Structure 1
Amino acid sequence: MTVHPFIEAEKAAGHNVKRACELLQVSRTAYYARRNGVPGPRKVRDAELTEKITIVHPSALAAPTVTRASMPS
């Protein structure tokens, strides 16, 4: 469960973001990083690997094609 939408709603209502983060045990740094759309290291690495895989295996992300000939009788 993510608490960031709750903190955003509290901020919109004029409440203190620092206090909301403390109560929900979320660092303000993490809240603002997610709010600003900064991807985490895992997401960056996943994107790099996906790019490398698609270069080596262009059909790696495509769904397999099922034809009548490939189905058992």
Structure 2
Amino acid sequence: MMNGSMAVMSLGMWIWMFFLIALVAVGIYVIVRLAVKSQNSSNDPSLSTLRQRFANGELTEEEFKQKKRVLQNNK
């Protein structure tokens, strides 16, 4: 009787350990993706120029979105 309950407890422990490791891995993945995305968009001089032109009123919102989409698809 004792061996059966120990096996179930051991299996439960392994399931929780796997869950925690998966949770940490997903968290690291999300953080890295956000960091890379932030770095790519902030260092792109063409996007910076586009944002500046939109802020100055040289482009409409639709023109801005269209040009931004084109720039991001060319990467």
Taking structure 1 as the reference length, what is the TM-score of the superposition? 0.30
Q: Which structure: greater helix fraction?
A: 2
Larger Rg: 2
Q: Which has the higher contact order (CA 8 A, sep 6+)?
A: 2
